[in-house]
């Protein structure tokens, strides 16, 4: 992983300069202190990869800024039949907008579902091409290609998205500069059920409703549950969530409205 390129000054770079200066001075006090400071900075950067909402490694949007009783709903990893279509039907039933962070591989396989998402008034984000959970451990060239390939594919389907969500919500020191080149924002989430990609569907709605609050970006998945008996349960859980949000007085709005950023535009 390489550090963010010039053009974006991140807290990590500022901290790096301060710690480097302190390390140089501390060398004359005790060499081990220099090593300790260097290790501290390395640990700090590694930890920040798993806590992107700190913005330590670059700008990341993790929640809204409306100050009102609004939330946004997002779905990751699709499109995937029949789940995505079932989700779309539920969203129609409750007149709820959503953003689908799609993988390039699935979008390529199911282009008709991408078009259906758009036709039903929802937005699409980029979730890399292959959804490699270890993507952020790879070179900047590989990461850039994963994002760019998905961007180009979506453009062929009539969509230009400005939103990128990294696989499993992990970032790295070079991601901010790559997204700047692509004119994209890194958007993660602030509320989830830790369903592990619909591997844990049971009580999904209860887990989210217990902790959801105003301006949250909710993370869900629109891929088939791994257990056959939970496939029908997923629709029930999502419907319980949608009705539960209404009961809590939370209004679901488009992600773009919640964060004040353009998510996508349609292209001819």
Domain membership flag for residue 63: no
Measure the CA–CA gap between 31 and 22, rounded to whole angstroms. 12
pLDDT in tens, 126-140: 999 999 999 999 999
Q: What percent of the chain has pLDDT over 70?
A: 96
Whether pLDDT at 94 is above 80:
yes
Whether pLDDT at 30 is above 80:
no
Whether pLDDT at 102 is above 80:
yes
pLDDT value of residue 157: 96
pLDDT value of residue 2: 36
Asked whether residue 149 falls in the same domain as residue 198, the answer is yes
Domain membership flag for residue 6: no
Which residues, 6+ apart, have CB-to-CB distance to 53 below 8 Å?
A: 60, 62, 63, 188, 190
pTM score > 0.85 for this model? yes
Q: Pick the range with the lowest mean pLDDT from 28-32, 128-132, 196-200, 225-229.
A: 28-32
Cβ burial 145-180 (10 Å sphere, 16+ → b, else e): ebbbbbbebbeebebebbbbbbbebbbbbbbbbbbb
Asked whether residue 40 falls in the same domain as residue 167, the answer is no
Asked whether residue 16 falls in the same domain as residue 89, the answer is no
pLDDT in tens, 155-194: 999 999 999 999 999 999 999 999 999 999 999 999 999 9
CB 163 within 8 A of CB 99: yes
Q: Which residue has the tokens 């992983």?
A: 1
Asked whether residue 24 falls in the same domain as residue 87, the answer is no
Domain membership flag for residue 137: yes
Asked whether residue 224 falls in the same domain as residue 256, the answer is yes
Domain membership flag for residue 62: no
Q: For the chain, what is the domain count? A: 2
Whether pLDDT at 218 is above 90:
yes
H/E segment holding residue 205: helix 204-211
Asked whether residue 39 falls in the same domain as residue 74, the answer is no
H/E segment holding residue 112: helix 111-119
Q: Is 93 exposed, middle or buried (0-12, 13-18, 19+ CB in 10 A)?
A: exposed
Domain membership flag for residue 194: yes
- How much is the mean pLDDT over the chain? 92
Domain membership flag for residue 256: yes
Q: CATH code at 111? A: 3.20.20.370
Whether pLDDT at 7 is above 60:
no
What DSSP line would sit under 138-189, residue for residue?
A: S-HHHHHHHHHHHHHHHHHTTEEE-EE--GGG---TTHHHHHHHTT-EEB--
Closest CA to 259 of 136, 165, 157, 158: 165
Domain that holds residue 142: 70-266
Asked whether residue 46 falls in the same domain as residue 77, the answer is no
Cβ neighbours around 16 below 10 Å, total: 16
Domain membership flag for residue 61: no
Whether pLDDT at 113 is above 90:
yes
Asked whether residue 40 falls in the same domain as residue 84, the answer is no
pLDDT value of residue 6: 44
Domain membership flag for residue 235: yes
pLDDT value of residue 41: 84
Asked whether residue 32 falls in the same domain as residue 142, the answer is no
Measure the CA–CA gap between 161 and 263, rounded to whole angstroms. 6
């Amino acid at each position: 992983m390489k550090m963010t390129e010039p053009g974006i000054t991140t807290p990590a770079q500022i901290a790096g300069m301060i710690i480097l200066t302190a390390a140089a001075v501390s060398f004359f006090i005790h060499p081990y202190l220099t090593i300790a400071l260097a290790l501290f900075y390395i640990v700090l950067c590694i930890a920040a990869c798993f806590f992107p909402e700190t913005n330590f490694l670059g700008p990341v949007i993790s929640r809204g800024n409306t100050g009102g009783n609004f939330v946004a709903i997002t779905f990751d990893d699709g499109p995937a039949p029949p789940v995505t279509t079932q989700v779309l039907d539920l969203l129609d039933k409750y007149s709820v907008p959503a953003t689908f962070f799609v993988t390039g591989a699935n979008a390529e396989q199911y282009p008709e579902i991408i078009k259906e998402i758009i036709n039903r008034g929802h937005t699409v984000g980029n979730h890399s091409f292959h959804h490699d959970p270890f993507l952020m451990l790879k070179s900047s060239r590989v990461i850039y290609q994963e994002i760019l390939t998905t961007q180009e594919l979506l453009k062929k389907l009539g969509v230009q998205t400005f939103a990128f969500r990294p696989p499993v919500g992990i970032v790295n020191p070079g991601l901010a500069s790559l997204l700047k080149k692509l004119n994209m924002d890194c958007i993660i989430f602030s509320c989830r059920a830790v369903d592990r990609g619909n591997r844990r569907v049971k009580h999904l709605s209860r887990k989210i409703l217990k902790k959801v609050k105003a301006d949250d970006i909710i993370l869900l998945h629109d891929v088939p549950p791994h257990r056959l008996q939970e496939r029908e349960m997923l629709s029930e859980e999502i419907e319980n969530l949608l009705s539960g949000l209404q009961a809590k007085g939370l209004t679901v709005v488009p992600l773009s409205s919640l964060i004040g950023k353009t998510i996508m535009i349609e292209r001819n």
